[in-house]
Chain A
């Protein structure tokens, strides 16, 4: 069924069709319309999930972890400061191996107060053990929420998954999307089988103290789970394509990279815009390509290395690790041996248009990099 709707309504619909047992969420701009829509679904009976109204995002995540610990499928959504408030619980979800699925709408962090897009919120959760997807269309938002359950709940992974997309640019913009039937989604996504669960008939405790002789192995196991998620993400998307005819690129969507000597690396909405920029550059005779990083955790190191062997990489970060530089560029540089240029752009929702991307590409060719479009006075 074709529908035209916003990214947030696509996320809410996907969440409903994944049949979570428990939804716990707290509203925050620009995520609010997800929570409102889910509450509406529950109220109307279209969704059978138990909806837990909570007093904060920290509690929302605590509720999801607890529900997941009883073997329930869970969903929540947040943004920016809400995500930051969850930080402690995000680590907990990872270490507890509870595959909570969460949508995070990328929004800048204040002060100065900002409700517009940038990725500093999710980038600061990089090390919590969550898998991270970044979407660049409403269709991809829908598809990825469903796929995220398959990946996170897989016995080899059992880790929480965060699906990110740009505030307002995607969250509040209507686009067309193809929605599969509930039966098709059910066939793709079987019920959740927990790795462990709280059960009164088989009592156990979780989260108790473990000494130095055990702790490190739990961390190693998480790391290994993320490593095995790499192949799984690609496989799950391939299966999605076979069933529904759509493929968003697996870990990295490569566009016109085959003969490219310069490859732009971007995520989210800038990644979508960069498609058009590559077309424009090609018309101008450039051998330009795009690697849209769809998954940031696990980090697509092999894909970046392979691209780097043939082309210079120009990374556009919509985030800043203050005192270091663009976070994506820093990781790309750690993963590859070839030349990498780094741009920081679009913070706090500053527009990054096709023209801006073309300009960054041209400046990089002249050996420049750094902060794009910053007023220095």
Chain B
């Protein structure tokens, strides 16, 4: 029997980083570790380690993290490709 079922696994539908036009870049000096970027990232592409870590394999470049950052520690830069 064949129907559309998928089990939870990373990248069940492929990596989405290639969709990105703008790339979020973190300025570690400015970051106050408030974790608003981690809370708001709609893709769960930011990991909460010692500092926020952006997973560029899956970040689509939506810019929500940069918009939510209260200290402008995340800058969106155009991808060079």
Q: Say whether B3 contacts A95, CB under 8 Å.
A: yes
> Does B6 have its Cβ within 8 Å of any Cβ on chain A?
yes
Q: Please, what's the 1-or-0 string for A150-177, where 1 marks a CB less than 8 Å from any CB in chain B?
A: 0000010010000000000000000000
Q: Say whether B13 contacts A209, CB under 8 Å.
A: yes
A208 to B7, CA, bound (A): 11
> Does A284 have its Cβ within 8 Å of any Cβ on chain B?
no
**A220: min CB distance to chain B, Å:** 8
**Interface size class of chain A, counting residues whose CB lies under 8 Å from the partner chain:** 20 to 34
Q: Say whether B7 contacts A206, CB under 8 Å.
A: no
> Does B5 have its Cβ within 8 Å of any Cβ on chain A?
yes
> Does A321 have its Cβ within 8 Å of any Cβ on chain B?
no
Within 8 A of A (CB), among B1-31: 1-8, 12-13
**Interface size class of chain B, counting residues whose CB lies under 8 Å from the partner chain:** 10 to 19
Q: Say whether B4 contacts A204, CB under 8 Å.
A: no
6 more contacts with CB within 8 A, not counting A155-B1, A208-B13, are A195-B3, A196-B1, A205-B5, A210-B4, A218-B3, A221-B2
Residue of B nearest to A219 (CB): B2
Within 8 A of A (CB), among B30-81: none
Within 8 A of B (CB), among A220-241: 220-221, 225
Within 8 A of B (CB), among A176-220: 195-196, 203-210, 214, 217-218, 220
B interface with A by C-beta (< 8 Å): 1-8, 12-13
A158 neighbours in B (Cβ, 8 Å)? 1
Q: Say whether A221 contacts B6, CB under 8 Å.
A: no
A135 to B10, CA, bound (A): 50
Q: Supply 30 A–B pairs (Cβ within 8 Å), ascending by A.
A: A95-B3, A95-B4, A96-B3, A97-B1, A155-B1, A158-B1, A195-B1, A195-B3, A196-B5, A204-B5, A204-B6, A204-B8, A205-B5, A206-B3, A206-B4, A208-B4, A208-B6, A208-B13, A209-B4, A209-B13, A210-B4, A214-B4, A217-B2, A218-B2, A218-B4, A220-B2, A221-B1, A221-B2, A221-B3, A225-B1
Q: Say whether A203 contacts B2, CB under 8 Å.
A: no
B5 neighbours in A (Cβ, 8 Å)? 196, 204-206
The 4 closest A-B pairs by CB, nearest first: A221-B2, A195-B1, A97-B3, A210-B4
Residue of B nearest to A225 (CB): B1
B12 neighbours in A (Cβ, 8 Å)? 208
A353 to B1, CA, bound (A): 44
A97 to B2, CA, bound (A): 8
B1 neighbours in A (Cβ, 8 Å)? 97, 155, 158, 195-196, 221, 225
**B60: min CB distance to chain A, Å:** 15
Residue of B nearest to A159 (CB): B1
**B15: min CB distance to chain A, Å:** 15
